[in-house]
């Protein structure tokens, strides 16, 4: 990757350290699949410990920065400008079932704008990074969103709302509307990786509603830095990172795709 800033170096180190432990825990989860009690408690414990590790490392390196994480809540910043945004284990359900598709996600915000992001998939040894103005990278390779224009050859990622979610009926209509028009739709179960895959051109687009800021902060920057566009699914003026109503895709297809989903 390009010369990483001091902040990005701290983020990469924290993600790697937490991931080492998660990989060990993941090996343990595979043994727990057969037990009656299941791996639920074990995994929520692994998740919490991973966040404690990351939080300690980040706050030690930058004590004046604020913090928000999925597991351990929020700390206000002393400098009034910076905030870490952490999902220690995105893809918890996959992890719980021994499915090797999950990641650690760390974003850094300055004055409300995401300026650096790390999404690390330790099972595949894929370290996605981005810094504002410095591009998006996978390990040492510069990323670009796909250049496809023809919807019929495009592959899209999505999130499926859980049963009982108010977003489910709308999603099912969108899926029925989009499926006949494209090459396929995948639901991989980790939004941070879905966004990183859009940045890498593996997905031509991704959409999901009801996301939290820690799911998407790092991945959203990657899409932008790889030349992609982010749009709010429902409101033209809204910021999808803040609203959690995320559409990420390339510039060629952003408008027709948004139109197609809204027509549903």
CA 104 from chain centre, in angstroms, equals 9
pLDDT of residue 4: 86
Mean pLDDT of the chain: 95
Higher pLDDT, 217 or 36: 217
Domain ranges of the chain: 6-142, 151-263
Q: β-pairing, 82-90 with 66-69? A: parallel
Higher pLDDT, 36 or 179: 179
For residue range 229-250, list pLDDT tens digits in order.
999 999 988 899 999 999 999 9
Q: Mean pLDDT over residues 132-154, rounded?
A: 97
CATH of domain 151-263: 3.40.190.80
The answer to whether the annotation marks 89 as part of a ligand binding site is: yes
For residue range 79-102, list pLDDT tens digits in order.
999 999 999 999 999 999 899 999
The answer to whether the annotation marks 232 as part of a ligand binding site is: no
The answer to whether the annotation marks 258 as part of a ligand binding site is: no
The answer to whether the annotation marks 70 as part of a ligand binding site is: yes
pLDDT-based confidence at residue 200 (cuts at 50, 70, 90): very high
The answer to whether the annotation marks 121 as part of a ligand binding site is: no
pLDDT of residue 136: 98
pLDDT of residue 94: 94
CATH of domain 6-142: 3.30.540.10
pLDDT of residue 108: 98
pTM: 0.96
| DSSP 8-state code for residue 207 | E
Residue 201 sits at the vertex; the CA angle it makes with 197 and 203, to the nearest 5 degrees, is 55
Range with lowest mean pLDDT among 6-20, 62-76, 115-129, 188-202:
62-76
Q: What are 153's strand-pairing partners? A: none
Which residue bears the tokens 């999902």? 87
H/E stretch holding 246 reads: strand 246-249
pLDDT of residue 88: 97
Is 70 exceeded by the pLDDT of residue 2?
Answer: no
pLDDT of residue 73: 84
């Amino acid at each position: 990757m390009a010369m990483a800033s001091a902040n990005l170096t701290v983020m990469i180190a924290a993600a790697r350290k937490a991931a080492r432990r998660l990989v060990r825990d993941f090996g343990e989860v595979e043994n727990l699949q057969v037990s009656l009690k299941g791996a639920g408690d074990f995994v929520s414990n692994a998740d919490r410990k991973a966040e404690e590790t990351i939080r300690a490392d980040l706050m030690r390196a930058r004590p004046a920065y604020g913090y928000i994480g999925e597991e351990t809540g929020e700390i206000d910043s002393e400098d009034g400008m910076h905030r870490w945004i952490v999902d220690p284990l995105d893809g918890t359900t996959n992890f719980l079932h021994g499915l090797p598709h999950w990641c650690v996600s760390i974003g850094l915000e300055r004055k409300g704008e995401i300026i650096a992001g790390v999404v690390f998939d330790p099972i595949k040894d894929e370290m996605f990074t981005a810094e504002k103005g410095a591009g998006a990278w996978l390990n040492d390779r510069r990323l670009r969103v796909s250049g496809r224009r023809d919807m019929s050859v495009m592959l899209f990622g999505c999130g499926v709302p859980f049963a009982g979610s108010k977003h489910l009926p709308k999603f099912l209509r969108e899926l029925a509307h989009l499926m006949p028009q494209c090459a396929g739709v995948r639901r991989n179960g980790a939004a941070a990786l879905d966004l990183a895959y859009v940045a890498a051109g593996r997905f031509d687009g991704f959409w999901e509603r009801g996301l939290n800021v820690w799911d998407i902060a790092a991945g959203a920057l990657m899409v932008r830095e790889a030349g992609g566009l982010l749009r709010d699914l429902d409101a033209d003026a809204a910021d999808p990172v803040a609203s959690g109503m995320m559409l990420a895709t390339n510039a060629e297809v952003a408008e027709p795709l948004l139109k197609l989903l809204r027509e549903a």
